[in-house]
Structure 1
Amino acid sequence: MNQNIVFGVSTWLWQSPFTAKSISLFPKIKKMGFDVVEIPLEDPSLIDAEKVKQALKNNGLKPSICVVFGDDKDLTGDDPSLYENCFEHAKACFEISKTLEASFVAGPLYAAVGKARLASEEQRQVEWERSVKNLRTLAKIARSYDLDIALEPLNRFESDLINTAEQVMRLIDDIDEECMKVALDGFHMTIEEQDMVKAIQTVGDKLIHVQVSENHRGVPGTGLTPWADFAKGLAAIDYKGAIVMESFTPENKQLAAAVNIWRKLAPSQDEFAQKGLEFLKKTFND
């Protein structure tokens, strides 16, 4: 039995964006048996970090922080003002993360989410170099808050820059900043990777965060994800971080449209969380 793994759930399973009122989810999340709550920082201005910190403490929960860049924030874009938007947003997110005593932020921060086109090799190289340069700047900002950044590969429909473990490691090697780490998401991996064990071993000790759902974004254990290989891969690198369930509520139409969830994936979001946690504990801790 692996006693090193702890389990978490993203508040995206119930609502978006995370606001001051979202702490009302914490007692339920703890009662279900989670130890970690993943907080997506979509709009930092909606969050009272001190209140969130106290609510985490009151409920015995640890935070993990998820950050993404939208269309107006892109480290690979032609317009340098997009980079500044990234840096300013990141600073606000890092400030909250520091207050919540998180050690890292996770997300596909190398480019805007949803930027997926058939670009020329020349354009792809230009954007790769922009990402490397700007992520070095982001790394310096993160260091000033004593934070690591866990870069997350996305599937081909959400990014044309980083889709695999091999690609994210090449990016990290080019950035050459110690605080640049890796987050792997099983949903994206089932689309892009050929071998789950090999992919996890490719990132090795750079892996500090894991997100999961089924290959159809539904309840873990109800789809085609090679869970035994997933567990084998994490055991092979002696992974000691959290495994966080990340899916999205179909009740929020804007969020559902953004992630292409067109049907209910469980009778209720609470049942999604409870059944998923039962499966994850059995798979990764037994």
Structure 2
Amino acid sequence: MSAVAERLPPGLDVACHLNVLLADPGSDLIASALDAIAARGFRRVVLAPVDADAFDAAGFRRLCEARGLTAIPIAGQSPGADVSSSDPQVRAAGIAALRRMVGLAAALGSDQLNGVPYGLFGRAPSAAPVDAWRRSAAAVGEVADEAHERGVAMVFEVLNRYETALVNTADQAMAYAEASGSPHLRIHLDTFHMAVEEDDLAGAIRTALPRLAFLELGQSGRGALSRGAVDVADVVRGALDAGYEGRWGVEAFTAAILPEPARDALAIWREPYRDGVHLTDDAVRVIRAGWASSTVGRRAARLSRAQVPTVGTAP
């Protein structure tokens, strides 16, 4: 692997989605992918959805821990296991599925569970019924409290209208979290989805700030963070200046890497990039630029300069 020009700022806790570099955690290339992620200063790796009962959590945990990384799994729902369903059996199956994913997070040594725990992924034929929204919130809040007891924070992602009808904006996310009744349920915002739904990205971040635990950086075209409609560096600066102290994520998808089922589910039919390692290097540069222009980054730079001994001064 070539020398790494830059690493992420040491004060930022940033995760990289594994699918940026690799389609399958079971690939023979997993070790080199994790090496590349760790070498650039990422602290965590986000998994694509996996079967909690079949996934080798102990083995993957060892791979991550050897590189100073921690895995973050993703929870989801299915037609037969959906917490928003009016069918009590389907709803109970949805809760059971979430509990299994909490168990997987714990087995991976993670204190965070991401994903879409509140309902089915995919475009809905109509707006979500209020009753479905309430059922979902109550169930997810229940599991969030249980997860908290196990040292795991449940963090739900806000998606655009083409991927869910339940929660699309920061305002809705805050309302959903409050309706859950759980003080432990946290919010995951993603700039890719925000660019579709929010008229003010900085304002949306401020709205969600009391419960915001994961701010994911994704570009409008799903490719490099430096090229697209979203000024990602400005989002980083604005969030830091607003007082955000939570975790960050980097996400990008390309048909050159994703397996076919994921390509179809996410509508990733183009190749905005071919080399995931180069994409992570680009992400590091963009994040560093935003951090450097923020109050936090400028303060860190001043402290760094003040600690450098002047010529003729003993170290």
Seq. identity, %: 22
Partner of 1:206: 211
Moved more, 262-271 or 215-224: 262-271
RMSD of aligned residue pairs (Cα, Å)? 2.3
Counterpart of 2:20 in structure 1: which amino acid? L
Task: Decide whether the 8 Å contact of 1:13 with 1:248 is kept in 2.
Answer: yes
Equivalent residue for 2:136, pick from 131, 138, 154:
131
Counterpart of 1:42 in structure 2: which amino acid? V
Residues 1:278 and 2:280 aligned together: no
Shift of residue 187, structure 1, vs aligned partner? 0.5
2-side partners of 1:275 and 1:232: how far apart?
A: 17
2-side partners of 1:29 and 1:2: how far apart?
A: 14
Partner of 2:42: 34
Partner of 1:86: 94
Shift of residue 152, structure 1, vs aligned partner? 1.4
Equivalent residue for 2:249, pick from 244, 247, 263:
244
Equivalent residue for 1:13, pick from 6, 20, 27:
20
Task: Decide whether the 8 Å contact of 1:7 with 1:277 is kept in 2.
Answer: no
Equivalent residue for 1:154, pick from 137, 154, 159:
159
2-side partners of 1:282 and 1:47: how far apart?
A: 37
Shift of residue 15, structure 1, vs aligned partner? 3.8
Q: How many residues align?
A: 283
Task: Decide whether the 8 Å contact of 1:249 with 1:255 is kept in 2.
Answer: no
Counterpart of 2:87 in structure 1: which amino acid? D
Partner of 2:108: 100
Task: Decide whether the 8 Å contact of 2:232 with 2:286 is kept in 1.
Answer: no
Residues 1:253 and 2:260 aligned together: yes
Partner of 1:230: 235
Equivalent residue for 2:275, pick from 245, 254, 268:
268
Give the alignment's TM-score, normalised by structure 1.
Answer: 0.89
Shift of residue 71, structure 1, vs aligned partner? 3.5
Higher share of residues assigned helix: 1
Counterpart of 1:215 in structure 2: which amino acid? S
1-side partners of 2:177 and 2:187: how far apart?
A: 9
**Quick one: higher RCO (CA 8 Å, sep 6+), 1 or 2?**
1
1-side partners of 2:267 and 2:85: how far apart?
A: 24
Moved more, 109-118 or 169-178: 109-118
Give the alignment's TM-score, normalised by structure 2.
Answer: 0.81
Equivalent residue for 1:176, pick from 156, 171, 181:
181
- Residues 144-196 of structure 1: CA distance to partner in whole angstroms, max 9, x if unpaired? 42222112110010011110000000111111211111111110001101111
Task: Decide whether the 8 Å contact of 1:36 with 1:63 is kept in 2.
Answer: yes
Counterpart of 1:35 in structure 2: which amino acid? R
Matched position secondary structure for 2:110: coil
2-side partners of 1:59 and 1:112: how far apart?
A: 34
2-side partners of 1:178 and 1:200: how far apart?
A: 19
Task: Decide whether the 8 Å contact of 1:228 with 1:283 is kept in 2.
Answer: yes
Partner of 1:55: 63
Counterpart of 2:97 in structure 1: which amino acid? H
Task: Decide whether the 8 Å contact of 2:9 with 2:288 is kept in 1.
Answer: no
Moved more, 206-215 or 83-92: 83-92
Distance 1:271 1:106, change over 3 A: same
Greater Rg by CA: 2
Residues 1:221 and 2:229 aligned together: no
Matched position secondary structure for 2:215: strand
Counterpart of 2:135 in structure 1: which amino acid? R
1-side partners of 2:282 and 2:199: how far apart?
A: 27
- Residues 82-116 of structure 1: CA distance to partner in whole angstroms, max 9, x if unpaired? 32332222222212211233222122211111142
Matched position secondary structure for 1:59: coil
1-side partners of 2:274 and 2:49: how far apart?
A: 27
Residues 1:110 and 2:118 aligned together: yes
Moved more, 199-208 or 74-83: 74-83
2-side partners of 1:53 and 1:65: how far apart?
A: 11
Moved more, 144-153 or 187-196: 144-153
